[in-house]
């Protein structure tokens, strides 16, 4: 993954985004362990929004609603 074009470095963090599957992994400098970021998590949505600009407010709202198991009033 070191030579991957999907590697992003920000400060002491490294992020790998697999654009085919949407999986996101992160690694802290000095640590050998690679952490998976769950796709349906607030952290995943926030990282994509902050670092990759891939989410808009509507998609983030939909993701949060799905996690809570709630429907929007318009969807009822």
9-32 confidence digits (pLDDT tens): 777 888 888 878 888 888 887 778
β-bridge partners, 10? 13
Residue-level pLDDT at 63: 64
pLDDT band, residue 55 (cuts 50/70/90): very low
Q: Is 36 exposed, middle or buried (0-12, 13-18, 19+ CB in 10 A)?
A: exposed
Average pLDDT, the chain: 73
* Spatial CB neighbours of 1, under 8 Å, sequence gap ≥ 6: 7, 16, 25
pLDDT band, residue 4 (cuts 50/70/90): low
- Using alpha carbons only, what angle is made at residue 53 by residues 52 and 58, rounded to the nearest 5 degrees? 135
d(CA 15, CA 36) in angstroms, rounded, equals 10
Q: Report domain extents, the chain.
A: 7-67
Residue-level pLDDT at 59: 59
Query: pTM of the prediction?
Result: 0.52
């Amino acid at each position: 993954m070191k030579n991957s074009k999907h590697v992003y470095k920000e400060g002491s963090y490294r992020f790998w985004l697999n654009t085919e599957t949407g999986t996101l992994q992160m690694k802290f400098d000095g640590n050998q362990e690679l952490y998976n970021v769950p796709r349906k998590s607030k952290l995943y949505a926030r990282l994509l929004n902050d670092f990759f600009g891939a989410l808009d407010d509507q998609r983030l709202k939909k993701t949060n609603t799905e996690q809570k198991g709630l429907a929007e009033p318009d969807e009822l």
